[in-house]
Structure 1
Amino acid sequence: MRQTKVHNLIILDESGSMSSIKSQVISGFNQTINTIREAQQTFADQEHTISIISFNGFGTKMLHFCDPITPIKEIDSKRYAPAASTPLYDAIGFAVSKLKLVVGEDEKFHALVTILTDGEENASTEYSAPAIRQMIGELSESNWTFTYIGTDHDVSKAAADIAVKHSMSFQKDCDGIETMFSEERKMRKSIYRKIFG
């Protein structure tokens, strides 16, 4: 039996305002990586890949792209160093288009896209809100699940503006971030079980 590919795509804000929560974000993301790794072991019919794309005004960085989850390296302070502005739409457009190319015509897959940001779009030059809304709206009708996680702005409105149906806001402090990552992992596990259990 051919395994279902599960593409875990995380689009991570690396703008300057994330500096104050840098260590908590690194820790939380490394726990998320472990959750995906556990899912790979739990669900024999799933083959997980991970893509982590961070972004700021200096551009987008592919920390991982469609890499097998088992040997993955954790994020550290050298690989995640917040600075500059927030070209959120450009990062989403770049990351989702790239994954869409990989998925191609494959029908036996699911893409789980998580966007984490502490601020609204303020620097994109290639993609606009309507373009991202159309892209996400179309993909959400098939095997793509999008989640928008944010703080310090109107998170539900920002998610709705780009057609993301699942959103979560968090307090920008140690407890708030810990709770957010814990909830994100629960949601992730529930999606794995619901779709493939």
Structure 2
Amino acid sequence: MTRRDLTHITFVLDRSGSMTSIKAATIESFNAFLNSQKSLPGCATMTLVQFDYAYELLANMQPLDAIPELDIETFIPRGSTALLDAMGRAIAETGEALSKLPEADRPGTVIFVTLTDGEENSSLQFDMATINQQISHQRSVYQWQFVFLAANQDAIATAANLGIGAGQALRFASDPEKVAATFDIMNAQMQKVRAAKMADDDEADPLLSEIEFTDAMRILADE
């Protein structure tokens, strides 16, 4: 049986050139999210990836307390947006790492978050159909939760093509205030899920154990 008290978060963060205008807000908001998650009861690990045309693994299956904050030297927007390559590789590598753990050490909850402010434009290794297959497999077989946070596009439509449900897709406006709101929403949703997953089986509310964005949250992030 997997560990009910352990959550793994894979966070795939866009650092392409278009993120320049919200660089400071992204750094500040990610760090606030990270520190809030560190303070919660239970245990959590994180794989942190940032990408443009290249893929950079900043942390791999590390305890949250070991994850460093982002700063202006580690988060430098540049280049194009190889979104599918980043997602595909991160899904594969996270799955492989988890498969090597004894079942008793595997997290009871896996949440895979992608944040991007632009559409795919430079992937070479993965296409949309392959990502959809990967996500569908991890959702159906291992109950991973996938979250898609996106600006400058129809986040729900893109998420649907990726195999992610509308309730787990959130469009945000590409400005500092809305970036902060988006991370706050994500943080609150993850707090809710982690608390629900730690509850006894008889007390657990299935409606609280899944990330689900409401219309009110969408207004906060995008209007």
Q: Same fold (TM over 0.5)?
A: yes
2:20 is equivalent to residue 16 of structure 1: no
The farther-off stretch of 155-164 and 166-175 is 166-175
Given residue 152 of structure 1, which amino acid in structure 2 is its aligned partner?
N
Matches of 1:159 and 1:3, distance apart in 2: 29
1:56-88 CA-partner distances (Å, limit 9, x unpaired): 11x101111111111321111111101111010
Matches of 1:163 and 1:87, distance apart in 2: 18
2:116 is equivalent to residue 114 of structure 1: no
1:126-184 CA-partner distances (Å, limit 9, x unpaired): 00000000000111122311000011111111111101121111111122112111111
CA shift for structure 1 position 119: 0.9
For structure 2, the 5+ residue unaligned runs are 200-223
Alignment of 1:159-174 (within 5 A): 159-165=159-165, 166-174=168-176
Look up the SS of the partner of 2:112 in the other structure. Answer: strand
Given residue 117 of structure 1, which amino acid in structure 2 is its aligned partner?
T
Given residue 68 of structure 1, which amino acid in structure 2 is its aligned partner?
P
Matches of 1:2 and 1:170, distance apart in 2: 34
Matches of 2:30 and 2:156, distance apart in 1: 22
Alignment of 1:29-108 (within 5 A): 29-39=30-40, 42-43=41-42, 47-57=43-53, 59-104=54-99, 106=103, 108=106
Matches of 1:12 and 1:71, distance apart in 2: 18
Matches of 1:128 and 1:137, distance apart in 2: 14
1:31-57 CA-partner distances (Å, limit 9, x unpaired): 111122112xx12xxx31111100111
> What is the TM-score of this pair, normalised by structure 1?
0.91
The farther-off stretch of 147-156 and 101-110 is 101-110
Look up the SS of the partner of 1:30 in the other structure. Answer: helix
Given residue 160 of structure 1, which amino acid in structure 2 is its aligned partner?
A
Given residue 98 of structure 1, which amino acid in structure 2 is its aligned partner?
E
Matches of 1:176 and 1:88, distance apart in 2: 21
CA shift for structure 1 position 2: 8.0
Look up the SS of the partner of 1:75 in the other structure. Answer: coil
Aligned length: 191
Given residue 146 of structure 1, which amino acid in structure 2 is its aligned partner?
F
Alignment of 1:138-177 (within 5 A): 138-141=137-140, 142-165=142-165, 166-177=168-179
Matches of 1:26 and 1:92, distance apart in 2: 20
The farther-off stretch of 48-57 and 127-136 is 48-57
Matches of 1:56 and 1:174, distance apart in 2: 20
| CA 1:2–1:126: 2 relative to 1, 3 Å | closer
User: Which residue of 1 is the match for residue 185 of structure 2?
Assistant: 183
Identity %: 26
